[in-house]
Structure 1
Amino acid sequence: MTVTLTRADGAREQLSDDVLDEFDAALRGRLVSGDAAEPEPRQEWNAMFGGPAGLTARCTGTADVVEAVRFARSRGLLLGVRGGGHSVAGLSSNPDGLLIDLSGMRGVLVDPERRLARVQGGAVLGDVDRETQAFGLATPLGRVSETGVAGLTLGGGVGNLESRYGLACDNLVEAQVVCADGSVRTASEAENPDLFWALRGGGGNFGVVTSFTFRLHPVGPIVGFAGVMYPLEEVAAVERKWREYAEVAPSEVTTAVYGFTFPAAPGMPEVVHDRPVVVVAGVHCGPDPDMGMRVLQPLREVGTPLLDLSQPMPYTAVQSAFDALFPRGVHRSYWKSQYLDELTDDAIDALARRAQDRPAPFTMLNIFRVGDAVRAVDPEATAFAERTSPYMVSIDTNWTDPDQDEAAIAWSRSTFEELTKYGNGRVFLNFTGRQDEPLQAGTDTAFGRNLQRLGRIKAALDPDNFFQLNNNIIPTPG
């Protein structure tokens, strides 16, 4: 199978059958060309970036990743990496180059005595929650069970436990990384500490992480859960009352507000079918779910409920509660985000206007209360620099019609621009769209002072910017 791929310098390189056969023989996994008539093992989440890579190495372990990195390096090929395939910006696809696909590497090994979990780089959140909850343990990981652990953690990792236990990257204690030269390094506080610092929020700039070791905490198996739908017409009043609660809530509570149109889902009351709603959600991760429900009760009283799904709930169910709103390969998506130092009445009014003027039903306008434990970490302790803002707004522009691309993206950008009057200009890179923007877009505001150190670490480990299909950090020696 002769294949022509794009090089990192933009040139094209033709790979002969003999070259590909030799590469294939070096893998325990499989080498698949882009024209192969077979389904992808893990579909790309954002439908704007669907389709197979020019050539895919479906890796089964670290040794396969080493072979793929060395092969790509020797040929100068443009290299991409797919963990969970859940990148909003399409960074886990590479239609013209070589893709390292980790979807076959999703093992999770739990050490309940030491409260640690070793997680392979292709695992998704649901894989981890399933295994850790068998021991009544969890680590902070996202809000959608199909999200990839790798991309989420390397980008910081916000989620349902963050107020009490911080970000996913704050709970990373060790990583195994295949670096640009093909070497395998262990990164921790004691070993390769600069690399370890950079991995905690610096994205996929520094290598392919084939395993993560996380610190675990006692959570569940039942937690307190609040999930209440209010009419979207009441969104401004609801968000004001939610703000009052969020600013005094205990650290066991992580809470957010979501504005979107609820679908006509089977088994759900007709009153919410295709209804624009504002959903107020909260998770109490303390040991007593009944007490947690009492603490969460005010979230059930911030407006006129259309539907109240609040109840003590298995933590694994909470972690998958929003999955249906984020199906793989269905929505075309372009997201923006911004942190706010204060959620003012004017900001709420602006958000309310925009929430009622969304371009498509599944477009969401959300406000997250940034957790106490997140803000307790020094901004320079990890690469993830945003540790001071109490709120983050995400503009999740999702639609299905390709003819609507231009209008939907324009709406997202104009909403972001309006919110700059109330935000501080800093962004969350995992909630970033990628349409005509350079790969470096947003890194200066996201990383702040940490960008200089990240550039030096990048120069030491990847001076040629071999790993560039990411929220890219330019190597800056010295």
Structure 2
Amino acid sequence: MPDTQGAVRTTAAEQAMADELRSSLRGEVIDRGHPGYDEARTVWNGLVDRRPALIARCTGTADVVEAVRVARERRPVVSIRGGGHQVAGSAVCDDGLVIDLSRMKGVHVDPAARTARAQAGVTWGELDRETQLHHLITPGGEISATGIAGLTLGGGFGFVMRTFGLSCDSVRSLTIVTADGVVRTASREEEPELFWAARGGGRGIGVVTSFEFDLHPLGPEVAGVLVLHPYERAEEVLRAWRDATRTAPETVTPELLLWTVPADPALPPELHRANCVMVGAVYGGPPGDGAAAALAPQRELGPPLVDLSGTVPYVALQSANTWRFPDGERYFMKSHFMDELSDEAIATLVDLYSRRPTPESLVVVRTLGGAVAHVGPDDSAFAHRTARYNVSIDAGWQDPALDETAIGWARSAWDAMKPFSSGGTYVNFAGLGEDAVELRGAVFGSHEERLERIRAAYDPDGLFASAARRP
């Protein structure tokens, strides 16, 4: 930590822990005085500015075992970094130890078995690149820079979730280092309680070092809808879209955004930065006549500003939004699960969006059901299988002077939508700081007690308790 002259001061306890880690790990140990410290502690959300004492950059599971051993003996606050893309910034902690998995990038695809084994530092873009060589996917992510670990542990929304389920639904097994330093394989047959908790229970049960996923045939091209409608018709389009989602087949995953027209050279310049309603949908099967018919109701919601529907490479679809959520900008998100999208809820959403503080801020309505609902409500820790929609209030901005305004808008919009909620919120969009703590019951619902029992069984001394408190 810096003293009054700005020099970095390291406590004796931190130095002793750093020395032990350096003697035990193959990977790099980064302390406050390391020239790469600021880069290593930086995460996607520029709103998060935490200063850990040490960052243990692991090269494999053996390094993780050693880092957990040192943490168990010395008892620092612990956080776990995979992709570092979660909005709450749970990858880093103040004055503690970050167990950093971001250099663990191994991916092995078995096309015959339709499985993939991926280490916890892999991003969705990296996984998609390997699986699409064989025209296979595991569902996950809407931004290719997102890490597979955090998204999957929280459930895992994606563009084809109604067809193939959440990311966690395709997990066949995972490797996890628990607080006692034991390397365990969790699956339906081995360590079934750990396996249950890891599929939607978020963080705080151990350090997951790799995932084995089931793969599904899709790609290399997929059919999709992307239609931009004038914002003046927002309520009308939302109502028509809602009605179309009620009869959408499971092969279609619809999504609607209230946002601005991107400054894309492919779009007319006079539309750039204008408010609009974006209607998107992806067909989870081969493109062709069947896809066109299934997607037609999402495409035919009235006269559009622009219709960009068509066929695109799956990897291009997965990375299409990444540039609109760049590293280092400031983000704050909160969400509601909803069983219905009433006319009143729609009118409220449109009004709330009209008051957004920045052009980067948006509202996203995602459609669940289909394969998401086919998993039993208690078969995984994900607690919202029966919800029909998720409404996400996403504040984005660049200027730190707007922090209070942007966060205040997102919180007040979330509060205004609460009367329409089914009472739940998505762990990966659970706010920041006090919001995340307050929302634990809404995140895990009736599964919270079982999750706490599992955490207590595998981590009786609370080594990962700080990670568990950050949904």
Q: Report TM bin, short chain.
A: over 0.9
Q: CA deviation at 1:280?
A: 0.5
- The residue number in structure 1 matching 2:71 is 72
Aligned residues: 463
Q: Distance in 2 between matches of 1:193 and 1:94?
A: 30
Question: Does the Cα contact within 8 Å between 2:41 and 2:51 map onto a contact in 1?
Answer: no
- The residue number in structure 1 matching 2:91 is 92
Question: Does the Cα contact within 8 Å between 1:227 and 1:308 map onto a contact in 2?
Answer: yes
**1:275-314 mapped onto 2 (5 Å cutoff):** 275-314=274-313
Q: CA deviation at 1:18?
A: 5.8
Q: CA deviation at 1:318?
A: 0.7
Q: CA deviation at 1:407?
A: 1.6
1:408-467 CA-to-partner distances (Å, cap 9, x unmatched) read 112111111111121122111111111434x53322122222111111111100122211
Amino acid at match of 2:156: G
Q: Distance in 1 between matches of 2:204 and 2:96?
A: 17
Question: Does the Cα contact within 8 Å between 1:264 and 1:270 map onto a contact in 2?
Answer: yes
CA 1:460–1:18 in 2, change beyond 3 Å: closer, same or farther? closer
SS of the counterpart of 2:437? coil
- The residue number in structure 1 matching 2:270 is 271
Q: Distance in 1 between matches of 2:11 and 2:68?
A: 16
Amino acid at match of 2:19: D
CA 1:115–1:348 in 2, change beyond 3 Å: closer, same or farther? same
**1:317-336 mapped onto 2 (5 Å cutoff):** 317-330=316-329, 332-336=330-334
Q: Distance in 1 between matches of 2:209 and 2:195?
A: 14
Amino acid at match of 1:176: T
Q: Distance in 2 between matches of 1:231 and 1:43?
A: 38
Identity within the alignment, %: 45
**1:57-206 mapped onto 2 (5 Å cutoff):** 57-206=56-205
1:7-30 CA-to-partner distances (Å, cap 9, x unmatched) read xxxxx9633656523321311110
- The residue number in structure 1 matching 2:434 is 436
Question: Does the Cα contact within 8 Å between 1:60 and 1:104 map onto a contact in 2?
Answer: yes
Q: Distance in 2 between matches of 1:277 and 1:468?
A: 43
**1:371-382 mapped onto 2 (5 Å cutoff):** 371-382=369-380
Instruction: Name the TM-score, length of structure 1 as normaliser.
Output: 0.93
Instruction: Name the TM-score, length of structure 2 as normaliser.
Output: 0.94
- Of 463-472 and 335-344, more deviation after overlay is shown by 463-472
Q: Distance in 2 between matches of 1:473 and 1:366?
A: 23
CA 1:58–1:165 in 2, change beyond 3 Å: closer, same or farther? same
Question: Does the Cα contact within 8 Å between 2:17 and 2:70 map onto a contact in 1?
Answer: no
Which 5+ residue runs of structure 2 have no aligned equivalent?
3-9
Amino acid at match of 2:209: T
Question: Does the Cα contact within 8 Å between 1:57 and 1:101 map onto a contact in 2?
Answer: yes
- The residue number in structure 1 matching 2:384 is 386
Q: CA deviation at 1:267?
A: 4.6
- The residue number in structure 1 matching 2:353 is 355
CA 1:42–1:126 in 2, change beyond 3 Å: closer, same or farther? farther
Q: CA deviation at 1:75?
A: 0.7
Runs of 4+ in 1 over 6 A off after TM superposition: none
Q: Distance in 2 between matches of 1:205 and 1:250?
A: 36
Give the structure with the higher percent helix: 2
- The residue number in structure 1 matching 2:48 is 49
Amino acid at match of 1:315: Y
Q: CA deviation at 1:469?
A: 3.6
Q: CA deviation at 1:35?
A: 3.2
Q: Distance in 2 between matches of 1:51 and 1:426?
A: 28
Amino acid at match of 2:339: D
Q: CA deviation at 1:275?
A: 1.2
- The residue number in structure 2 matching 1:216 is 215
Which 5+ residue runs of structure 1 have no aligned equivalent?
5-11
User: 412, 416, 421: which one pairs with 1:423?
Assistant: 421
- Of 233-242 and 147-156, more deviation after overlay is shown by 233-242
Question: Does the Cα contact within 8 Å between 1:340 and 1:392 map onto a contact in 2?
Answer: yes
CA 1:30–1:399 in 2, change beyond 3 Å: closer, same or farther? same
Amino acid at match of 2:75: G
Question: Does the Cα contact within 8 Å between 2:151 and 2:167 map onto a contact in 1?
Answer: yes
1:223-260 CA-to-partner distances (Å, cap 9, x unmatched) read 10111111222211111111121111111111100111
SS of the counterpart of 1:134? helix
- The residue number in structure 1 matching 2:6 is none
- The residue number in structure 1 matching 2:458 is 461
CA 1:463–1:289 in 2, change beyond 3 Å: closer, same or farther? farther
Q: CA deviation at 1:206?
A: 0.6
Question: Does the Cα contact within 8 Å between 1:271 and 1:306 map onto a contact in 2?
Answer: no
1:154-210 CA-to-partner distances (Å, cap 9, x unmatched) read 000011121011111111110000111111111001111111111011111110100
